[in-house]
Amino acid sequence: MRIASLALALAIAAPLPAAAQVFNPTTYQLANGLQVVVVENHRAPIVTHMVWYRVGAADEPPGKSGIAHLLEHLMFKGTPTIPPGEFSKIVARLGGRDNAFTSSDYTAYFQNVAADRLEAVMKMEADRMRNLTLDDQNVVTERAVVMEERRSRTDNNPQALLTERVEAALFLNHPYRRPVIGWGSEIAALTREDALDFYKRWYAPNNAILVVAGDIEPDKVRALAETYYGPLKPETVPARIRPDEPPQVAARTVTLEDARVQQASWSRTYMAPSYSSPDKAAPYALEVLAEILGGGATSRLYKSLVVEQGVASGASAWYDPTAVDQSTFGLAATPRPGVDVPKLQAAMDKEVRLVLDKGISAAEVERAKTRLKANVAYARDSLHTAARVLGEALSTGETVADVEAWPNRIALVTPEQVNAAAKAVLDDRASVTGILLPAKGGTVARAQPMMAPPAKELR
Amino acid sequence: MRRLLAFLFVLVTALPAHAVTVERVVSPGGIEAWLVQDHSNPIISLAMAMRGGAGVEAKPGLAHMVSGLLDEGAGPYDSQTFQGKLEDLAIELSFDAGKDNFRGNLKTLTDNRDTAFDMFRLALTQARFDKEPVERVRNQILTMLARELQNPETVAARAWYRLAFAGHPYAVPVRGEPDTVKAITVADLRNYTKTWLTREGMVISVVGDITPEQLKPLLDKTFGALPARHPAIAVPETQAQAPGKIQVIQRDNPQSVAVFGAAGIKRNDPDWYAAYVMNYVLGGGGFSSWLTEEVREKRGLAYSVYSYLTPMDHAGVISGGVATQNARTADSVRLIREQFARMVTDGLTDKELADAKTYLTGSFALQLDSTSSIAGLLVAVQLDDLGIDYLDKRNGYIQAVTKEQVKAVAQRLLDPAKLTFVVVGKPEGL
């Protein structure tokens, strides 16, 4: 719960939560600056109610890494009308489920409830937008919870530890180099005052987006939003000006050798533009490129490394263009048993070279575009997907029109654009290679001695 | 505190039990499916399950390996052709194996409906098991098994099942062990497919943009060629063993991961709903649960602590998990045992019971989020033989649970001395 949604991990897990024309949302702004988005879906009498704040880990003051995420946890710790720890219990008593998540660029809170309970959860969410109160004991206990969360997610997991260090190495100056959950020593020093300072600075209706999706009419949402969010006072919210990333000139490799590692892995993460970058065509070309390189069992990387050469068990490419600042483009592979990492890396280098030297064909681009566009209908199937895609877009600087134009913009991508984007992005000098290996001299041991399979006569 | 909550006394009643209408569709060839029509989106989702799963396999990991290979070449298509066709038409087709069942899922745009069903038929009935995909998938499974050894949750859960079900098929991980996966032959794969992918006990659910008249002939075409019967399932009834034992697996991690559990109940047990309500309050209900309140909220000892019921065909388990820094792991273990004991002695208050019912009835419809989630739910309902009117009746079963029933089932299941723990890490004081 209270998930720290690390943008990269998410991009790998869920390739392209394809935004689409088909959401057909209704959108408007309240007088206090709150942006409201409503997506109707009448299949079941349920709604999802989400509030997204345009603030995340990349907006934290130096030395306070983890405060955006700790505050997200502390948002459940009370207001003058809702006692600490009661928020989620009240939602449960309404027959609903709630949670929250933090990324580098946004922080979001949601409740899934029966449509006729929307008013009750909206009242509580509006209340905690402006009225959070915290006591020291709650902060200290929740900070311990977050320390355990960090151990679970990162310190207990060598692959996650490597990913954290790769990101820290990739971004030389931009705060995307910091883990969303925070560095352990800095989390341990966060205080109630740090949390309240951050809250007061960023949590206001004019820095938030309300997304409601489900079995509800836009007019009804408008009336409720005016009632509960309407009276909240706007604030002067600082601009999200983050330190610039200098031009990158040196390829880096980060190797983690760890006795706990049982399975080696390889990845390369390149700096890449995002939807927020000046070049408005490149992100769409890169989405097509990621699909061609790593979008499934017939993609270039999978076909070559896994099927034909048999040097990898898995091979993939990822790209998530949704970001306030720069994004990343990634390649990853896992060696097949018996294959060493240098051999795998050589095979991957060759594939990249092939793209750069010979280019991507028009037929590959057409095929990838068709597949990407087909995902649009599926994205519309779940009301949670719609809410999530719209909230993520709007909290990172896109507009509803951008989201709705996604299929058209993908359709306009040309082979020339894909090849130009590949040449611009697949540049080793702006990349970090991440290698996970078992500790030198160590043995790859089983967790426990192999037990004989149960006697066959049992069956 | 109570006073402050006054404004929340919203009148809470359960949702209209469901918002979907389930129809029974029987094809001319006698194949049955449950259908929910939804023509708002041009999408069709199908979910199906067959009996047997890993419990009946000849070698550990065989059913799982079959599930990974059915879509790697079938009928006239080799692996790349088959996969390419799926990708170009945006057809999502997958299989997986559980301890008791073998499951399949299909999702397609309406335009490609007939092709999608035909691809599903080919996968079920004419899988090729060509050499390249067999070796590739075998290596992928070996890679996955190695990676899972890095994951303390998986290591702990597997060790728990080995301990609790020693000598029974449930002790064996569904994905097998490296040595058993290496030993699987193409003949084994074909044999499993021929023997266990049958119409006997098969259940099917379809949700989305399709009518009964359109579905009927597709059912015969897709599933009609499967054998009618499978051999008797000879998995013996069993119960979780090793009560009270704590097994520590040393791992140089800063945090110990514990999996705990004991004998539970099966889905058809008369005490099921009482146990379900009880578990919600004990450890199933997130921030409303005792375990979360005591371990996380009061003491900050874990990010996640939970319990759940696992009903299988031949045994039931109540189990859970927690992850706490090594120095304080013993505190979490003690607190978990205390909450088990508390449920046995105190049971629930009237308010706890009422709140549990409000949540469990009110939240039931939340899972009807997408065509595939509805199809999956209806397959589970059919596997458990709960009846086509289950969505209407289910909240009534929850409402009928009494405090006395909860206490009785707690006494039956929650003896803290019988809890079996597996801890992966460097726990102190255990």
What gap in Å lies between CA B105 and CA A138, rounded to an integer? 45
Query: What's the pLDDT score for residue A374?
Result: 83
Query: Residue B19 — very low, low, confident or very high, per pLDDT cuts 50/70/90?
Result: low
pLDDT at A377 over 90: no
Q: Residue B411: CB partners within 8 Å, gap ≥ 6?
A: B344
| Cα gap B26→B34, rounded to integer Å | 9
Handedness of CA A124, A125, A131, A137 (dihedral sign): positive
Residue of chain B minimizing CA distance to A112 = B366
Average pLDDT of span B186-202:
97
Q: What's the mean pLDDT in B131-159?
A: 97
Q: Are the beta carbons of B177 and A453 separated by less than 8 Å? A: yes
The predicted pLDDT at position A442 comes to: 54
Q: What are A154-212's pLDDT values in tens digits?
A: 999 999 999 999 999 999 999 999 999 999 999 999 999 999 999 999 999 999 999 99
CA angle A267, A271, A274 (to 5 degrees): 120
Split at pLDDT 50, 70, 90, the class of A441 is low
Please state the three-class secondary structure of A93-148 as a single string.
Answer: HCCCEEEEEECCCCEEEEEEEEHHHHHHHHHHHHHHHHCCCCCHHHHHHHHHHHHH
Tell me which chain A residues have a C-beta less than 8 angstroms from the C-beta of B373: 382
Best of B1, B115, B147, B325 to substitute, by most chain A Cβ atoms within 10 angstroms, is B147
Residues of A known to be catalytic: 72
- CA-to-CA separations, B391 to A247, A274, A293, B157, B386, in angstroms, rounded: 59, 45, 44, 32, 9
In this structure, are residues A378 and B90 in contact, taking their beta carbons and an 8 Å threshold? yes
Tokens at residue A229, please? 């969010």
Which residues in chain B have Cβ-Cβ distances shorter than 8 Å to A45? Answer: 15-16, 19, 365
Measured distance CA(B177)–CA(B155) in Å, rounded: 12
Q: What is the pLDDT of residue A57?
A: 97
**pLDDT tens for each residue of A51-107:** 999 999 999 999 999 999 999 999 999 999 999 999 999 999 999 999 999 999 999
pLDDT digits (tens, 9 = 90+) for A280-328: 999 999 999 999 999 999 999 999 999 999 999 999 999 999 999 999 9
pLDDT at A8: 30
Question: Which residues contact residue B254 at a Cβ distance below 8 angstroms, ignoring those fewer than 6 apart?
Answer: A151, A155, A156, B325, B326
Q: What is the mean pLDDT of chain B?
A: 94
Of A76, A447, A453, the CB nearest to B172: A453
Ordered strands of the B203-208 beta sheet: B23-26, B32-37, B203-208, B43-51, B101-109, B92-97
The yes-or-no verdict on residue A407 having pLDDT over 50 is: yes
Residue A114 and residue B79: Cβ atoms within 8 Å? no
Contact B10 A117 (CB under 8 A): yes
Q: Is the pLDDT of residue A451 over 60?
A: no
Q: Is A51 helix (H, G, I), strand (E, B) or coil?
A: strand
B positions 321-340 inside 8 Å of A (CB): 323-325
Q: Which amino acid is at A227?
A: T
Q: Give the A:B interface size as CB pairs under 8 Å.
A: 258
SS3 track for B269-336 = CCCHHHHHHHHHHHHHCHHHCHHHHHHHHCCCCCCCEEEEEEECCCCEEEEEEEEEEHHHHHHHHHHH
Judged by CB atoms closer than 8 Å, whether chains meet at B369 and A44 is answered as yes
Q: How far, in Å, CA of A121 to CA of A123, rounded?
A: 5
CA distances from A186 to A135, A181, B327 (A): 20, 10, 21
pLDDT digits (tens, 9 = 90+) for A325-361: 999 999 999 999 999 999 999 999 999 999 999 999 9
Using one digit for the tens of pLDDT, what is the confidence trace for B226-262?
Answer: 999 999 999 999 999 999 999 999 999 999 999 999 9
Q: Tell me whether residues A370 and B10 touch, CB distance under 8 A.
A: no
The residue among B224, B33, B43, B32 whose CA lies nearest residue B121 is: B224
Nearest to B85 by CA among A367, A305, A14: A367
- Taking CB atoms and an 8 Å cutoff, what residues of chain A touch B150? 157-159, 260-263
B151 lies within 8 A of chain A by CB: yes
pLDDT in tens, A292-301: 999 999 999 9
Interface list for B 222-281 with A (CB within 8 A): 234-236, 249, 251-255, 257
